Amino acid sequence: MDSPGINPVKEKKGRGLLWSETRDGFLFILPWMFGFLIFTAGPMLASLYISLTRWEIVTPSVWVGGAQYVKLFSDDRFWLSLYNTSYYVFIGVPLHLLMALLAALAVNMNLRGIHYFRTAYYVPSLTPVVANSILWVWIFHPSWGLANAFLEWIGLEGLYWLQDPRLAKPALIIMSFWSIGGQMVILLAGLKGIPIPLYEAAAIDGANWWGRFWRITLPLLTPALFFNLIIAIIGAFQIFTQAYIMTEGGPNYSTLFYLLYLFRAAFENFRMGYASAMAWVLFIIVLLFTIIQFMLSDRWVFYEGDLRR
């Protein structure tokens, strides 16, 4: 016997409509699911299997278990490449975000022609990395580069930017400032989203520009800073093209970054098992850094509507 107040016909139609919507939803996401399984999940699982083998492409693969991972930790070049990459991450990323923040603050002013400056800061981030690398090889040239020309103009001696092991990594960090446009646009959007009445109320209360920046601008900008930080760390751990084109890992392996060493292991020395093990170690490192950042975000990221004091 049907329950009172429930129309069996309407209930059946409702279940049919729900099933129809669910089916259509799965049909819509089916192309993405196939693409994910074939081009992302499939290669990841394949690389995990390869990392447990000794495979040199032209020879059959041999199962070695975790031997490739054990070999990593006894490889001096592995630790050197990890150090070089960590140097770039821990020094380059904070400076990169600082420059992007300063640029966003600079172009947030209501001045005539400010749109041209915003475009000028953003356009270099659209230039391919290969083109940027070739340009900066010329800029850092010890004889006729613009960097040394500027140093000589202010009375300083020119430097061997890419030829000195002590300067090669800092030179690549300086080069990264050329592409702050993407982060600048995100931070600029965050600045535009801060309500003007908050600044007006702070000014009435006697807050100076630093007080307004420290108490209003920076806290309300932390979500955009957090997003940029996560993306910048992931990108910095994957630095490859600049070192491959500009220094080839030199001088004296000072720019032998992690991905460059992985590339050489895979496509120059044909040690696919070893390179796959390196790739999974990098994946774990980036994953751990991302998890730690999300765990620490509650302490410094302020979202709209957050009631914390």
CATH code for the domain of 246? 1.10.3720.10
Which residues are within 8 A (CB) of 42 and not within 5 positions of it... i.e. 6 or more apart? none
| 42 and 137, same domain (yes or no) | no
Give the whole-number percent of the chain exceeding pLDDT 70.
93
Do the domain assignments include residue 169? yes
**Would you say residue 55 has pLDDT above 80?**
yes
Instruction: Specify the higher pLDDT residue, 113 or 281.
Output: 281
To which residue do tokens 């990323």 refer? Answer: 93
Q: Where are the alpha helices (DSSP H) in 8-74?
A: 8-36, 42-50, 67-72
Q: Clarify whether residues 169 and 39 are in a common domain.
A: no
The Cα 115–Cα 163 span in angstroms is 38
- The reply to whether 229 and 273 lie within a common domain is yes
Same domain, 146 and 286: yes
Burial class of residue 210, CB neighbours in 10 A (0-12, 13-18, 19+) = exposed
Mean pLDDT of 217-232: 95
Answer whether residue 58 is part of any domain: no
**Preceding amide of 251 cis, omega within 30:** yes
Q: How far is CA 174 from CA 1, 179, 181, 232, in A?
A: 78, 10, 14, 15
Quick check: is 59 in a domain? no
Pair 197, 284 in one domain: yes
User: Same structural domain for residues 206 and 162?
Assistant: yes
| 114 lies in some domain | yes
Which residue's structure tokens are 């800029």?
139
What is the total count of domains within the chain? 2
- Amino acid sitting at position 15: R
Same domain, yes or no: 129 and 243: yes
Answer yes or no: is pLDDT of 308 > 60.
no
Do 31 and 109 belong together in one domain?
A: no
Residue 305 lies in a domain: no
Helices 181-192 & 218-237, crossing angle to 10 degrees?
Answer: 160
Please report how many Cα atoms fall inside a 13 Å half-sphere around the Cα of residue 49, on the Cβ side.
7
Inside any domain, residue 56: no
Is residue 34 located within the same domain as residue 133?
Answer: no
pTM above 0.95, yes or no: no
Considering the domain boundaries, does residue 207 fall inside one? yes
Residue 288 domain flag: yes
Same domain, 161 and 17: no
> Which pLDDT band, with edges at 50, 70 and 90, does 18 fall under?
confident
Using an 8 Å Cβ cutoff, are 162 and 78 in contact?
Answer: no
pLDDT per position as a tens digit, 107-161: 998 888 888 889 988 999 999 999 999 999 999 999 999 999 999 999 999 999 9
16 vs 47: which has the higher pLDDT: 47
Nearest-CA neighbor of 75 among 279, 274, 276? 274
Q: Are residues 240 and 107 in the same domain?
A: yes
Q: Are residues 159 and 14 both part of a single domain?
A: no
Residue 106 has pLDDT above 70, yes or no: yes
Eight-state DSSP code of residue 210? H
Identify the domain containing residue 17 by its residue range.
8-50
Angstrom CA distances, 55 to 7, 22, 125, 279, stand at 65, 44, 38, 15
